[in-house]
Structure 1
Amino acid sequence: MSRIGKLPIPIPKKVQITIAGQQVTVKGPKGELQRTLTDYVDIEQEGEEILVKQRRESRICRQQHGLSRTLIANMVEGVTNGFERRLQIQGVGYRAQLQGKNLILNVGYSNPVQVEPPDGIQIQVENNTNVIVTGINKEVVGNTAAQIRAVRPPEVYKGKGIRYLGENVRRKAGKAGKK
């Protein structure tokens, strides 16, 4: 049995959860999320917490047990506090700016790169070099941040590019000079 899957999910006071078969809907102060889970698990609400239980004892059921519990816990966390990913832009002349909802990146290409956020995702720019991606769905926030980072990933020789805040980029030594 999954150690993570066995843990109950506490429901905060401001959150309402509706379970209809495998469909879980979570409403909170920041919004509403909905997800259909696999048939390998049962979801039950007991008082102020949610329990996820395996239907059978098999490898796939154990895998889906922990995953389903984590997905529901992330939904509850998202509608109460939300999620954010911070990106940092490094490089001479590299900068970001907002144009309406869209993010415009000047990162060394001949033309600026425009990134359009999906629904429910907000992008903010601080000091032209820090980008903050926020939203209530952890999966979409992470994917949007990864798409922005993929525009110009950090380069190993000079360290230029877009990286997550606090990401450690291993640097390589350049060419050795001629003797």
Structure 2
Amino acid sequence: MFSRVFFRSVPRLQGWTPIRFNSQQVDPAKLKAFQERIDKAKIRRAYALGGCLMFIWISTHGILLYKRRSEHRNLNEKLPPISWENFEQTYLATGDVKTIIFQPHFETANVYLNSAREQQMKKSFVDLVHTTPDKFSRPPDVRFYLEASSEDVQSLVAAASQKYKHHVDFEIDQFPSYRELSFIVGSSLFVLAAISMAK
């Protein structure tokens, strides 16, 4: 009795029928098109992330290489490199050389000495030179240039050390160094994380 009165008082509900969802009512073509749009969006996002990573990777390489070139030019003005022959006769023969760091990109070596005479020379250059090599916190004492590969320079240094009976530490300052490579990788990961969070 109550239901009859209720439906008579609310005429809109008399013709109401419940809606039943059926998966067969979805158009397969529309579903396929929707999935294709999602896949294309994922591909575009992957290309965008790859492009950003490549740009950061190349740009950080360029920035660090430009920094090295600027330091190299500044150091050439403050402490011009000498020839290998002059360096061998003046420093290697006397046993004053402690460490040689060869930069194959510039075909130049930075030399650190251990004699009292060159320590005084080092102090005079500390105030003049503001750029330092990647590994050391002070400028080199002497520099020499040699158009040769890292292996050839290392062989020459080893032969000279054996000839003059003085041990010399030899290292190669390759570009990018471990510190520079860490900076490049860290910058790339930071940009990737920022882009992922923004998406």
Normalising by structure 1, report the TM-score: 0.23
Larger radius of gyration: 2
Q: Name the structure, 1 or 2, with higher relative contact order (CA <8 Å, separation 6+).
A: 2
